[in-house]
Amino acid sequence: MDQVFAPWRIKWVERDGDSDGCAFCELPERDADRESRIVARSDHAFCLLNNAPYNPGHAMVIPYRHTGSYTDLDDEELLDHSRLVQRTLDAIDDGLGPDGANTGMNLGDSAGGSIGDHLHTHVVPRWEGDTNFMPVVGDTKVIVEAIEDTYDHLHDAFAGQEAVRDPGSDEAIVVE
């Protein structure tokens, strides 16, 4: 029998089951970014650490508007989403120092996404040698850093970034 120690999952198991809503819509409405694992926000999207990460630092950039379709994003949302993906990559580089990253979206339920009706872009840091015998022999992935520590690394890296300016205006797009 495979056993994986994942004490952070108890919050999911014991959660209030009354919510029929979308977690990606509900989380940014709470006034608890650290508890919700939201490491950064922009005008139209937010960056959330994945509670079931493939690697330490596995983040998702998610538009506030509930849509499962990438083509539904208007120009402003699309630009903001893409900029936050860029800033997430920068924060991961600064905060975690990986050798590379994978990015991508699972569009629709059949694409393998666990939340197919709310668009999200995965940003997964990768390190040379981060594949070892455990997934191959033991069918088990070892996450080597606590999600709270990853949150601190990325939150600090986002906070150290300069505000990005919209080329069409004088307003800064600030990631909190």
Per the domain annotation, does 140 fall within a domain?
Answer: yes
pTM: 0.73
The total of structural domains in the chain comes to 1
Cα separation values, 88 from 20, 24, 39, 129, Å: 29, 17, 9, 22
Q: What is the pLDDT of residues 134-175, one digit of tens each?
A: 554 556 666 667 888 888 888 888 888 865 544 555 444 444
The enclosing domain of 33 has a CATH number of 3.30.428.10
Residue at 5 is within a domain: no
Would you state the structure tokens that stand for residue 110, as one six-digit string? 């059949």
Asked if 155 is an active-site residue, the reply is no
The pLDDT-based confidence of 17 (bands split at 50, 70, 90) is: low
For residue 138, the 8-state DSSP code is S
Among 58, 81, 120, 153, the active-site one is: 120
More confident residue, 23 or 135: 23
Task: Tell me whether residue 117 is in a domain.
Answer: yes
Q: Is residue 116 part of a domain?
A: yes
101-132 pLDDT, tens per residue? 999 988 877 776 677 789 999 999 998 877 65
Domain holding 37, by residue range, is: 20-99+107-161
Q: Does residue 66 belong to any structural domain of this protein?
A: yes
Report the distance separating Cα 159 and Cα 140, nearest Å: 34
- Is residue 39 a contact partner of residue 47, using CB atoms and an 8 Å limit? yes
Task: Give the pLDDT score at 174.
Answer: 47
Determine the residue type at 76: E
Indicate whether 31 belongs to any domain: yes
Q: Would 138 be classed as within a structural domain? A: yes
For residue 39, report the phi and psi dihedrals to the nearest 5 degrees: -95, -20
Average pLDDT of the residues in 70-80: 95
Q: Which of the two residues, 73 and 142, has the higher pLDDT score? A: 73
In a domain, 27, yes or no: yes
